[in-house]
Amino acid sequence: METTELFELSIGRSRSHHSDHYFAFAHFEQVLSNTDIESLSVNEPMVVEICLDKSR
């Protein structure tokens, strides 16, 4: 699989769900999150800025 294909297949919304158990403290934590991945044009100002920023 080419890198570009991987990125194209990743476009959309991804849901993540995990839980942590702290037995020593009798604590349970549940974490839910959504990640939105979108395609940007190479001419998008944010893309150009990131590519030109040499400090990254």
Confidence band, pLDDT 50/70/90 cuts, at residue 54: confident
Cα(37)–Cα(39) distance, rounded to whole angstroms?
7
- pLDDT digit string (tens) for 15-52? 888 888 777 777 788 888 899 999 988 899 998 998 89
Predicted TM-score of the model (pTM): 0.49
Identify the CA nearest to 17 among candidates 31, 35, 3, 5.
31
The pLDDT of residue 56 is: 63
Confidence band, pLDDT 50/70/90 cuts, at residue 11: very high
- What is the span of the domain harbouring residue 43? 3-52
Identify the CA nearest to 36 among candidates 15, 8, 6, 5.
15
Give how many domains the chain has, as a whole number. 1
Q: Specify the higher pLDDT residue, 26 or 12.
A: 12
The pLDDT of residue 28 is: 82
> Can you name the residues that pair with 34 across neighbouring β-strands?
15
Sign, CA dihedral 44-5-34-56, equals negative
